[in-house]
Amino acid sequence: MKSVEQVLAELTPVFREVLDDDRLVLTAELSAKDVDGWDSFTHTELITAIEKHYGINFSLKEILKFKNVGDMCRAVLHSAR
């Protein structure tokens, strides 16, 4: 089974592409308030890109609980079961 750290590594290129920042370093604690350009529109793009990358669909309930990248990673891990 994957770990949060593995999902962070897999999602780094996704976040870098959507946020147009090749130097972005993902951590579990990273949130929208920490990243220039991560607004509500970009957040929707990130959710869509993550779902496409893993072939999953988050529920609205899950999405509303996302407070940081770690929450997203844990949701990916949960969806992969």
Decide: residue 16, CB within 10 A, 0-12 exposed, 13-18 middle, 19+ buried.
Answer: middle
Distance CA 35, CA 10 (A): 19
Question: Over the stretch 58-81, which tens digit does the pLDDT of each residue have?
Answer: 999 999 999 999 999 999 999 976
**What are the DSSP calls for 36-48, one per residue?**
TT--HHHHHHHHH
Question: Over the stretch 12-67, which tens digit does the pLDDT of each residue have?
Answer: 999 999 999 999 999 999 999 999 999 999 999 999 999 999 999 999 999 999 99
Distance CA 27, CA 19 (A): 15
Residues 6+ apart with CB under 8 A from 43: 32
Domains of the chain in start order, with CATH, are 4-79 (1.10.1200.10)
Its pTM surpasses 0.85: yes
